[in-house]
Amino acid sequence: MNFDVERAQPISAAVEKAILHSSNVLIMGHKYSDSDSLGAAVGMLKFCKDLGKSAKIVISVKTSLATLLVNHLKKNDLGGELVSVEEGKKLVKSNTLLIIVDTHRAPFFESREIYESVRDVIVIDHHEKSSDCVEDAHVFYQDSSASSASEMVTQLIYCNEKINLTPVYANALLSGIMLDTRDFMLRTTPLTFECAAYLRSSGADIAAVKQFFNNSLKNKKLKGKIVVAAYEYENCAISVAKVKSDNIRIICSQAADELLMVSDVMASFVLFETDNTVNISARSKGEVNVRLIMEAFSGGGHMTMAACQLEGADIEQVRLELERKLDEYFANNK
């Protein structure tokens, strides 16, 4: 294996030291957790458990986009390691360590309240560093060249001989890498494939992981309606979802992915409503930086995958504003 041991080894050691000096560990990702956020959290859960430390993953299962991964964990007796935000608050002690994965911006944490109630924090994230990043982290491990937070966690595990990955954990980590690289098509480096090979040697099953992204026939039909409703604007595909579903976030994110398969489409944007909030799921092939466009709406993400939530907004006004933001973006990036 050609892991970047020189860089990851000291970080892995620092993480181990912080874990061992804590009374217990809480792990959380971002709101509306996806397979990378949850996969990286599961990897860090294994890191803690193999060091003999009590740890739990704080996650809102009801709003998670990684429903099938959650089910996989429950079927493999890890459901008890997932706790709600309210349960997580009760586990905070004076010496609790909080590990945050796949985000470094407090507004996007699964629970900002838990973050503000602990003293020691570790951040592991692959998104480009923002101006409103966490300033008080004990360890701040940020690498925008990594494909995913799961790839970064895999490196930390590889560098610690005390951690023994088993298939259920390896599958979770591989699902995070596969999500953020779109099955190894985007944002990959040789290290990405090294991590995947290591996970495979630890028992990860690619066929099983692909099942985490499956859809019901009903959801596929709804996704198809969103794709068909799209229109082209500045070589981007924009669609306003008018379908109703309890899985609307998952369906719209997958519709945004599928729209990228249209020839000449450089980026895709799917707008949808939840409660009193307008959401945008944005994707790119790499030529358009959707992170910058979503940050203009106070959202965030990565160059090829980003999102935003606009409470109290009108979806038609947001659509028009998106077109204006795209005009500005392309005018400034000719």
Q: What is the CATH number of the domain that holds 32?
A: 3.90.1640.10
Under 8 Å between Cβ of 229 and 257: no
Under 8 Å between Cβ of 235 and 264: yes
Task: Say if residue 49 is in the same domain as residue 185.
Answer: yes
Final residue in a domain of this structure, among 178, 212, 246: 212
Task: Say if residue 72 is in the same domain as residue 88.
Answer: yes
Amino acid at 76: N
Closest CA to 34 of 195, 172, 157, 185: 172
Task: Say if residue 36 is in the same domain as residue 138.
Answer: yes
Task: Say if residue 159 is in the same domain as residue 11.
Answer: yes
pLDDT of residue 2: 61
Q: What is the CATH number of the domain that holds 235?
A: 3.10.310.30
Say what percent of the chain tops pLDDT 90: 91
- For residue range 296-330, list pLDDT tens digits in order: 999 998 899 999 999 999 999 999 999 999 999 99
Closest CA to 122 of 244, 251, 29: 29
- For residue range 179-198, list pLDDT tens digits in order: 999 999 989 999 999 999 99
- Range of the structural domain that residue 58 is part of: 5-212
Give Cα separations from 324 to 124, 234, 293, 305, 320 (angstroms). 34, 11, 10, 20, 6
In this structure, the number of other CB atoms found within 10 A of the CB of residue 330 comes to 14
Task: Say if residue 87 is in the same domain as residue 181.
Answer: yes
- Please, which residues have CB within 8 angstroms of residue 302's CB and are 6 or more apart in sequence? 126, 127, 128, 144, 180, 187, 291
Closest CA to 210 of 185, 179, 180, 189: 179
Task: Say if residue 12 is in the same domain as residue 132.
Answer: yes
- Please, which residues have CB within 8 angstroms of residue 143's CB and are 6 or more apart in sequence? 126, 152
Task: Say if residue 135 is in the same domain as residue 282.
Answer: no
pLDDT of residue 1: 58
Task: Say if residue 140 is in the same domain as residue 166.
Answer: yes
Domains identified in the chain, total number: 2
Task: Say if residue 231 is in the same domain as residue 152.
Answer: no
Q: pLDDT band at residue 205, thresholds of 50, 70 and 90? A: very high
Query: Exposed, middle or buried by CB within 10 Å (0-12, 13-18, 19+), for 319?
Result: middle
Task: Say if residue 116 is in the same domain as residue 241.
Answer: no
Final residue in a domain of this structure, among 212, 239, 255: 212
Final residue in a domain of this structure, among 177, 212, 247: 212
Strand ranges in the chain using DSSP code E only, listed in sequence order: 24-28, 55-58, 82-83, 96-101, 120-125, 139-142, 231-233, 236-240, 267-274, 277-284, 300-302, 305-311
Task: Say if residue 165 is in the same domain as residue 288.
Answer: no
pLDDT of residue 216: 87
Q: Output the six-digit token pair for 285.
A: 């092939």
pLDDT of residue 333: 87
- For residue range 13-42, list pLDDT tens digits in order: 999 999 999 999 999 999 999 999 999 999
Task: Say if residue 192 is in the same domain as residue 306.
Answer: no
Interval 131-158 mean pLDDT: 94
Give Cα separations from 333 to 127, 182, 284, 288, 327 (angstroms). 21, 25, 15, 9, 10
Amino acid at 3: F
pLDDT at 176 over 90: yes
